[in-house]
Amino acid sequence: MKFRNFFIFLIAVYFLLIIFKIFLFKYTFSEFRGWSEDGFLWSYCALELSKKKNPDLIPNFHFQVGYVSNLEIPAYLVGFLSPIFTLILFIFFKIFKSVYPFHIFLFFISLLDFYLIYKILKAFSISEESKIYALASIFFSPLFLIFSFKLRPDALALFFSLLSILFILRKKFIISSILFSISVFGFKIQSIIWIFFLLYLIRQVKGILLFLVFFSFSFIIWFYFFYLPISSKYPLLITYLLYSNTISVFDLKRLFLNQNYLISLAQIIGIFHIYGILYLLGCFQYIFYLRISEIIPPRSFNSIILNFSFAHIYHKLTKFKNILKFILLFQITLNILFFLFDLRINLDNDRFYRKLERITRNENIKVCSYLRQSNFYLYLFHPNRENLIHFFSRRLSNYKNCDVMTYHDMFRKTIIYKDSIFDFNFKLPFNFFKTW
């Protein structure tokens, strides 16, 4: 099969998956492969601004900063550190009054991401077969089968990083630097992992200097307009955000014995190539400029660099092609199983929110939630429901005088209303899977 035909086939499959999830679920968020309150935190600032409110503390919303359990901080600050994502979401809220159209928009951004990945692989001087297997390793991974369906800035950050690569290949280094700056400072700062990989692709001293000058200028703007004002008022928030997205170099179990690596085996193979080494160097940046023992872990779309690396390894190591094919087949099998598992989690999630939405239509009912996940998304879909009270708190005193109580974790979702208890539980057939 030709590379172009294989790409068209995967695009058709991915489009059908998107349509399937749009029509099957309304509340398409799941807790699998990422905490569900992340989507709320990324969205809250845009939501409040769209209602012409000054974003501040949600009533009784307690954000635990690291281990400082009693410290309250405004939830909107997460949005301020991703300003372009917040601006785009703000526009969607103003037009549609709901997060759902934006969620669908992110689905199609993921389609564009996949197209850009195809264009980049197509430009590589490797065999068609290598390109096909690299594209398969990307498609059949948590990044596209699961993570691209979440309300986060990752898909948009990836879009601008991939555009940056395309402009590097066209020798447009200034435009490439601006696009990469948008990815890092406009959407998600963890995208900075890509920088050494991009500099390697430039391979011209003049081009590298141009790229770094414009990137540094963008950093100065972001630093003085966003980082410094927030850091001066809430220094612990910046510390929390930096550390919450890292792994300690001394945490050997998470670094080398992480079971999630099994569903990204092709990426692990990709470490053994210059692209993979540059990716790891990007992960270790925190040690160099923060003087801490933390590194940025392989997470979300940042690790697609390793799939590019896998393509080159497959092309060069002709004697090991059968082994590499077996590794990829194993990864594909596991990811299809986990995709089906995620659909099952989504089914409970959707049923939970639909039931809660029906109960809370009477705005005289006070609704409280307990634990990390609960009413967050209902608030995003129905932002004018003032009766919804959101908690991220261990303070039991906050839950007095509630008409409806909800409890929500990955495998158990419960609504308590008057004398009725509504359970939406998923029982795993094997205890082994609870460790994933």
pLDDT in the model for residue 436: 44
65 has pLDDT over 70:
no
* Partners of 294 in the β-ladder: 248
d(CA 168, CA 9): 28
Question: What is the per-residue burial (b if ≥16 Cβ within 10 Å, else e) of 210-231?
Answer: bbeebbeebbeebeeebbeebe
Residue 300 confidence class, pLDDT cut points 50, 70, 90: low
- Tens of pLDDT, residues 389-403: 655 555 556 666 778
408 has pLDDT over 70:
yes
Residue 84 confidence class, pLDDT cut points 50, 70, 90: very high
336 has pLDDT over 80:
yes
* Least confident among 131-135, 136-140, 318-322: 318-322
pLDDT in the model for residue 399: 63
pLDDT in the model for residue 212: 94
pLDDT in the model for residue 131: 94
Nearest to 24 by CA among 87, 94, 107, 82: 107
64 vs 269, which has greater pLDDT? 269
d(CA 95, CA 99): 10
Nearest to 376 by CA among 142, 19, 84, 78: 78
62 has pLDDT over 50:
no
d(CA 106, CA 191): 18
411 vs 374, which has greater pLDDT? 411
pLDDT in the model for residue 68: 43
d(CA 288, CA 281): 10
Total-model pTM: 0.87
d(CA 37, CA 423): 20
pLDDT in the model for residue 78: 72
Residue 14 confidence class, pLDDT cut points 50, 70, 90: very high
Once rounded to an integer, what is the mean pLDDT over residues 189-213? 92
Amino acid, single-letter form, for residue 126: I
245 has pLDDT over 90:
no
pLDDT in the model for residue 390: 58
pLDDT in the model for residue 60: 40
- The three-state secondary structure class of 360 is coil
Give percent above pLDDT 70 in the chain.
75
Q: Answer for the pair 89, 102: CB distance below 8 angstroms, yes or no.
A: yes
Please name the residue ranges forming H helices in 67-204: 77-80, 83-96, 100-123, 128-139, 142-145, 154-169, 173-181, 195-202
How far is CA 55 from each of CA 44, 88, 398, rounded to the nearest angstrom? 8, 17, 21
Question: What is the per-residue burial (b if ≥16 Cβ within 10 Å, else e) of 34-53?
Answer: bebbbbbbbbbbbbbbbeee
- The three-state secondary structure class of 386 is coil
pLDDT in the model for residue 189: 82
User: Going along 346-401, which residue ranges are E strands?
Assistant: 367-370
Q: Answer for the pair 271, 301: CB distance below 8 angstroms, yes or no.
A: no
* Least confident among 140-144, 227-231, 296-300, 320-324: 296-300
pLDDT in the model for residue 236: 63
d(CA 394, CA 291): 33
